[in-house]
A = this chain, B = another copy of it.
Amino acid sequence: MTPTPLSGIIPPLCTPFRDDFGIDTDSLRRAIDFQLEAGVHGLFILGSSSEVAFLPDAQRRTVIETTVSHVDGRVPVLAGCIDMTTLRVAEHVRVAEEAGADAVVVTAPYYTRTHVAEVERHYRLLRERTGLPILAYDIPVAVHSHLDRELVLRLAEEEVIAGLKDSSGDEAGFRYVLQGRRERGLGSFAVFTGSELLVDWALELGADGAVPGLANVDPEGYVAIHRHVRSGDLAAARAEQERLLKLFTIVDVAPPHRMGRGSAALGAFKAAMKMRGVIADAVLAPPQLPLSEDELARIGEKLAEAGIGEGELA
């Protein structure tokens, strides 16, 4: 396995739909262009923010083929291979490999009541089945278990996994992983935060990059944070991150007694992308619920407050 040069801002790309929930490939290509023009360093498709849990296999394949083809090697393309257990994930990995993804991103098993020793076996078995780099995806809010930090470091040491996308919300654990990586000389093990809100901090602390869902709406902001931290201007990085903290409150415009937190967040991202003229339609895959007119209006206001103008489809 070649050391992975993954780093920087790698947005988890939202998946635009047509009315019939086929992939809106025109909008998908426009979203990719929008990201690349903003200077992102990679793209993560088929992650949680991509509504991967809502996409049938054929649509997943369309997303990956369209993206790989349109990106055409300009940045690395990471593909989420999100399914419940090893053999099912292995099939997604095979598809990603065939379609030309540069790396795959894999969670712990879910639906089943799992155990750290089974999580370990899961990654080891997948390692045997692909030549692609595997990033472990720590996302307890979805899979209801948290990756053990010692396991992560051991799998990194043995080159079973090539990186980590940490959406655990456990920042102290994240720091232990960064410390362990440094002390064990695992320089090629790529560590990413999945947070939208602590990217400046994660980068200052040595993380290689970030995978923030909000970058679908404001990639320029995250690219700026990355640039500022790399150039040592921590105050500028912080100011930009603080601006994005406020923008991120679009995910709470729809209240919890009305819809799931998934719909509220992804609906807000897509609505904002549409307002910016990036995608044609903000529809979410079923059974997610749509935002109301009032909620959309408040999202528009928050975009304006964050200095983001509305746009039109090119």
Contacts and interface: CB of A to CB of B under 8 A. Distances in A.
Nearest to A176: B245
A67 B74 CA distance: 49
Contacts of A259: 115, 117-118
A87 B198 contact: no
A130 interface: no
Interface in A40-99: 48, 53-57, 59, 82, 84-88, 90-91
Nearest to A108: B287
Number of copies: 4
A139 to B, nearest CB: 9
A263 B110 contact: no
Contact of A54 (B85, B195, B197): B85
Contacts of A197: 172, 175-176
B55 A87 contact: yes
A51 B86 CA distance: 12
A2 interface: no
A53 B289 contact: no
A239 B53 CA distance: 41
Contacts of A287: 85-86, 109, 114, 118-122, 125
A301 to B, nearest CB: 17
B142 A112 contact: yes
Nearest to A60: B88
Interface in A238-262: 238, 242, 245-246, 256-262
A221 interface: no
Given A56-B91, A172-B198, A110 B111 contact: yes
A118 B263 contact: yes
Interface of A: 21, 48, 53-57, 59, 82, 84-88, 90-91, 109-115, 117-122, 125, 141-144, 169-172, 175-176, 179, 195-198, 201, 205, 238, 242, 245-246, 256-263, 285-289
20 contacts: A53-B84, A54-B86, A54-B87, A54-B88, A56-B90, A85-B285, A110-B110, A111-B143, A112-B142, A114-B287, A117-B259, A118-B260, A118-B289, A122-B286, A125-B286, A125-B287, A144-B144, A175-B198, A175-B245, A257-B257
